[in-house]
Structure 1
Amino acid sequence: MTTSVLRPDLDDLRTRVTGTVTGRDDPGYDGARAVWNGMVDRRPWAVVRAAGVGDVAPVIAYAREHGLALAVRGGGHNVAGNGAVDDGLVLDLADLHAVSVDPAAPTVRVEAGATLAHVDAATEPHGLVVPGGVVSTTGVAGLTLGGGVGWLTRPHGLAADNLVSVELVTADGRQLTADANEHPDLFWAVHGGGGNFGVVTAFTFRAYPHGPRVFAGNLVYRQDRWRQAWTALEEWTRDLPDAMTPITTTMTPPPVAEMGDEPLLLVGFAWAAPDRATGEALVGRLRELAPPDEEEVGDMRWVEWQQAFDPVFPKGVRAYWRNTSFDRLDDPVIEVLVRRGAEQTWTGTAFDVHLMGGAFGRVPEGATPFPNRAARFWLNIYGFWGDPADDADRVAFVRGLSADMEPFATGGQYVNFQGHEPAGHRGSDPRTVFGPGKYERLVEVKRRYDPGNLFHVNHNIPPG
């Protein structure tokens, strides 16, 4: 990156954009710089809240001219805090959140500042859905650029698997549309390669008939039933149809959940087919294998199910996450999951086991940068506490469980489940995250579209 001798000037920047520019001495600076993860306390030189796509290229040019590090923020929900940067420039796209639905196609165009809640609100009246995540306040841009794992991964694949096209601005200020025919190398790279290649300003997704109601819920197990539940899940998940997506959570629920103050195992599920009787029979089979202590199961609006975990992750929560894929739920793995789960006698850490496979697993390995399509399970270990005094203990728990699961790991890292890692940890090395073949291909795309590595405030893929 070429560093200019010109001194950055806020007034100069304000003349170039129509959005709001907030500097360190301006009212509202602390609010403008804040991101979802309360552990991230970075002080940018300025934050530009874009008023439209026309503000993107001038901000990119300004950062290049003045040698300023550039952070790009969509929904701002990234656990690693990549939507902020010390002494640099933040491009905040939160006001670009329009969603337009074409029911005939059916496709959905989503601007880069939109959240899953924006998308669900727009698609529900049409009886459609776009595969996303599990928390409605998540930004669509970061979720999709990292892959996008959620309640519809098994029936329809990742959010990124459903991309039709993306609109983006490159490091040299060009506005491009990338799809399977135009700039196919760039289109491939944004299917999990993150924000390394430009500022995506809009996504167009395939949509699917769905809802507006869904058969979903949680089977709840107290500690004396955990081993039985995990053993049952090993059998039950072997031949599930694609329409059934289970996510198994171990946590001490926060007070807002009103579920007590002891660690619980919750087998959450969403059934994505209209044949409810088949979904009910599948859940009944799990009940037979492992009778739950409690359950909350039924027919509910899809948008309500998508919002069920929102209270666990309010903006400002302190967060540190790690993840890994694995393929077995035998006694050694269950021993780790049960032992570590029982240690969580506090509210502030949890771990999810996502069943993969289905449509996700049928995508050819080289079709996207997302790693390890053969994975049977994906583990996300996450902290979500409020008191800085708890930082050391909560981070230690996440790292400890991650280390315990290392012998069972089957390769790859999901960047959206990865917090900021110190140099030397395998999660900080993109070769380990993506695998050597995909990494080299991503580097080639990076050299073509961002040879100066302007877009490096992310899980970075250097151009050389």
Structure 2
Amino acid sequence: MSTHHPATGGRETDRALQGLAEHLTGTLTGPDDPGYDEARRVWNGMVDVRPRALARAGSVADVDHVLATARSTGLPLAVRGGGHSIAGHSTVADGLVLDLGGLTGVEVDPATRTVTVEPGATLAHVDRATAPHGLAVPLGVVGGTGVAGLTLGGGIGWLTRTHGLTVDNLLSAEVVTAAGEHLHVDAAEHPELFWGLRGGGGNFGVVTSFRYRARPLVSPVLAGGLVYRRPHWEQALTAFEEWTRELPDEMNPIVSFVVLPPEYGLGPEVLMTVGLVWASPRHGPGLELVDRLRTAAPPDLGTVAPVPWTVWQTAKDAVFPAGSRGYWKNVAFSRLDEEVVAALVAVASEIGWVGSGINLHCLGGAFGRVPEDATAWPRRTARFWVHVFGFWRDPADDVRLTAYARRVHAALAPFAEQGQYVNFLGAEPGADPVTAARRAYGHDKHERLVALKNRYDPGNLFRGNHNIVPTGHR
């Protein structure tokens, strides 16, 4: 690696990085090296920064060398798993990136129904490994998403009502702390840190291995969607709200408002879709439930049929390609009455372009039965969680489409309950991190997370995230 870089300067830093390059089993890439622009690229195309160096780990041992270099040089650190942080936390300007994306191993133990996953794996890696065994780890909804960031933030997906969040299925983790300690963390060993890892983001260390409980899932699953054009939204949402009140855990619905790409052949209008996954090998009861919703709110289009699990989990990948520019917001609430429906329909009706949209995640079920204080996830009582997302390609749209997401959030804020899902939060330059964290987690959980931060990372080495600021850095 070429080490000299006047913007971050310092012969001592150059020597430290040269030493790091010599110790790595992986590679170190700097601004003057071939492949630097490719190495620094992250999923969100709005995040275009130039790190001082990127360390692509070839083994877990490289984590120690990178953390030691970050401590000795004072270079700001970013930890990258899949590189999908919407807020851009997978990289850092003029700093050091620990890139774990080459560590993608997945080991499945069918006898114990457990899965051990390396920190660079994506959802698709895990699904491909578990599906042949009739198993699945509850993860997210896009196959290209990194498992590590998804897990540490919480993990909402197509199995949330059936089996809970990803963090509700995490059994243990191997963690390297800011001080270089290697800890096995689970409910018995370092239980408070285990609590904080499950929703507190990457604030407390580098997780080098995740061990999950896998759930039985026979593929193909019953999945699909009902599609409604604009004149039928109010009726469909009202019927949907009533339909969700007595749903069995096996049914997992997500309502989306989107303009689909031209290849879908549905025209340029914004559509409301009710996506559905019935997580049971007995498809009959699921079809009966779908028919009940069809009767209450007849769709304009829609198919619900058996689909291979790995196909369903990757069906949206092409819609949100790497390099898309993006910004997200989210809000939790439990009402979906006439007033909330009117507000939701009003902002959804403004969508007139491919890429941006609104997802309404229906919660409850197994998710809602997890005790409120069992994990750092912000709130278990909300019936719905709205994800306002934006993906676009043209930088000229940045201001307009970011403003749209904020406008949707503001319109729904009067109905909001406390809680912000950090994986659904875009970057907010200039925002006070302490205020943002309190808003996300609530006062009590935030204070508990601060106590953990004070213990495991008092110097705030791991600040490239939705930061829990230690007491000494406020």
Q: TM-score, normalised by structure 1?
A: 0.98
Distance 1:425 1:418 in 2: 14
**What amino acid is aligned across from residue 379 of structure 1 in structure 2?**
V
Give yes or no for the alignment of 1:336 onto 2:329.
no
- Native 8 Å contact 1:113 1:140 kept in 2: yes
- Native 8 Å contact 1:312 1:384 kept in 2: no
Unaligned runs of 5+ in 1: none
Q: 2:424 aligns with which of 417, 421, 426?
A: 417
Unaligned runs of 5+ in 2: 1-9
The equivalent of 1:305 in structure 2 is 312
Q: Which secondary structure state, in structure 1, belongs to the residue aligned with residue 124 of structure 2?
A: helix
Give yes or no for the alignment of 1:156 onto 2:169.
no
**What amino acid is aligned across from residue 402 of structure 2 in structure 1?**
V
Paired residues for 1:232-311 under 5 Å = 232-311=239-318
The equivalent of 2:4 in structure 1 is none
The equivalent of 1:6 in structure 2 is 12
Distance 1:130 1:35 in 2: 25
- Native 8 Å contact 2:156 2:165 kept in 1: yes
> Quick check: 420-429 or 387-396, which moved more?
420-429
- Mark the CA change 1:64 to 1:411 in structure 2 (over 3 Å): closer, same or farther: same
Cα deviation for residue 231 of structure 1 reads: 0.8
Give yes or no for the alignment of 1:214 onto 2:211.
no
Q: Which secondary structure state, in structure 1, belongs to the residue aligned with residue 315 of structure 2?
A: coil
The equivalent of 2:207 in structure 1 is 200
Distance 2:431 2:94 in 1: 25
Q: 1:93 aligns with which of 84, 90, 100?
A: 100
- Native 8 Å contact 1:324 1:379 kept in 2: yes
Cα deviation for residue 423 of structure 1 reads: 3.6
Distance 1:363 1:217 in 2: 28
List per-residue Cα deviations over 1:101-122 (Å, max 9, x = no partner): 0111110000000000000000
Q: 1:448 aligns with which of 455, 460, 473?
A: 455
> Quick check: 342-351 or 43-52, which moved more?
342-351
Cα deviation for residue 428 of structure 1 reads: 6.2
Paired residues for 1:43-82 under 5 Å = 43-82=50-89
- Mark the CA change 1:290 to 1:425 in structure 2 (over 3 Å): closer, same or farther: farther
**What amino acid is aligned across from residue 19 of structure 2 in structure 1?**
D
Q: TM-score, normalised by structure 2?
A: 0.95
The equivalent of 2:112 in structure 1 is 105
Give yes or no for the alignment of 1:457 onto 2:464.
yes
**What amino acid is aligned across from residue 140 of structure 2 in structure 1?**
G
Give yes or no for the alignment of 1:121 onto 2:119.
no
List per-residue Cα deviations over 1:369-391 (Å, max 9, x = no partner): 10110010000000011111111
The equivalent of 2:230 in structure 1 is 223
**What amino acid is aligned across from residue 429 of structure 1 in structure 2?**
A
The equivalent of 2:143 in structure 1 is 136
**What amino acid is aligned across from residue 143 of structure 2 in structure 1?**
S
> Quick check: 419-428 or 258-267, which moved more?
419-428
- Mark the CA change 1:425 to 1:328 in structure 2 (over 3 Å): closer, same or farther: farther
Distance 1:461 1:453 in 2: 9
**What amino acid is aligned across from residue 8 of structure 1 in structure 2?**
D
Give yes or no for the alignment of 1:395 onto 2:394.
no
Distance 2:255 2:221 in 1: 18
Q: Which secondary structure state, in structure 2, belongs to the residue aligned with residue 21 of structure 1?
A: strand
**What amino acid is aligned across from residue 421 of structure 2 in structure 1?**
Y
Distance 1:202 1:258 in 2: 42
**What amino acid is aligned across from residue 170 of structure 2 in structure 1?**
L
Q: Which secondary structure state, in structure 2, belongs to the residue aligned with residue 285 of structure 1?
A: helix
Distance 1:340 1:431 in 2: 27
**What amino acid is aligned across from residue 458 of structure 1 in structure 2?**
N
- Native 8 Å contact 1:109 1:205 kept in 2: yes
- Native 8 Å contact 2:370 2:380 kept in 1: yes
The equivalent of 1:429 in structure 2 is 436
Distance 1:68 1:210 in 2: 45
List per-residue Cα deviations over 1:23-82 (Å, max 9, x = no partner): 011111111111100000111100000000000011000000000110000011110110
- Native 8 Å contact 2:434 2:469 kept in 1: no
**What amino acid is aligned across from residue 53 of structure 1 in structure 2?**
V
The equivalent of 1:320 in structure 2 is 327
- Mark the CA change 1:180 to 1:5 in structure 2 (over 3 Å): closer, same or farther: farther
**What amino acid is aligned across from residue 264 of structure 1 in structure 2?**
L
Distance 1:40 1:426 in 2: 19
> Quick check: 442-451 or 62-71, which moved more?
442-451
Cα deviation for residue 257 of structure 1 reads: 3.0
> Quick check: 153-162 or 337-346, which moved more?
337-346
